[in-house]
């Protein structure tokens, strides 16, 4: 299975530093591992996967428990099927983070980045589709957080 088969994968929207506000309600995720600022609007829902798409940390995988603004160097990943939990995708992608980070292109004088196609076509494991097992998976993940 590939993430592109079971997940919606989109690149965020550019938000210039001048549009960010110090006391904004929502974190702005971009190409790093921590928020690059705050904003009063959001373009991604809670429990979405935020993956750094540009910069030295391209391929870094995180899950956001709150609404956030996904910038132009952030990939947002959410399940598009009820049989695959976004939290499961997060754990699977987090285990593959090293592969994703080593797939960066650019570098040198160019800013490193991760092509969306690399993420879409990465081979990953598939969770069991059973509703009962889905509940067990949710409980297992909750115990690990």
CATH number of the domain at 104, please: 3.90.220.20
120 is in which domain, residue-wise?
Answer: 3-144
Query: Mean pLDDT lowest for which of 10-14, 76-80, 83-87?
Result: 83-87
- pLDDT score of 136 more than 90: no
The predicted structure's pLDDT at residue 96: 93
| Domain count along the chain | 1
Measured distance CA(66)–CA(71) in Å, rounded = 15
Measured distance CA(145)–CA(140) in Å, rounded = 9
Smallest CA-to-CA distance from 51 within 24, 32, 23 is with 32
Backbone angles phi, psi at 128, to 5 degrees: -65, 135
Helix (H, G, I), strand (E, B) or coil at 51: strand
């Amino acid at each position: 299975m590939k993430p592109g088969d079971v997940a919606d994968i989109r690149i965020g929207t550019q938000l210039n530093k001048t549009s960010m506000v110090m006391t904004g309600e929502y974190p702005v995720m971009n190409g790093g591992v921590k928020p690059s600022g705050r904003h009063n609007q959001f373009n991604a829902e809670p429990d979405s996967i935020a993956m750094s798409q540009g910069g030295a940390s391209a391929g870094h995988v995180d899950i956001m428990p709150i609404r956030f603004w996904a910038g132009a160097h952030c990939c947002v990943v959410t399940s598009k099927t009820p049989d695959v939990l976004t939290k499961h995708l997060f754990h699977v992608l987090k285990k593959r983070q090293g592969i994703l980070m080593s797939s960066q292109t650019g570098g040198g004088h160019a800013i490193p980045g991760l092509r969306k196609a690399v993420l879409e076509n990465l081979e990953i494991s598939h969770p069991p589709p059973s509703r009962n097992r889905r509940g067990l998976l949710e409980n297992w993940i909750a115990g690990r957080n």
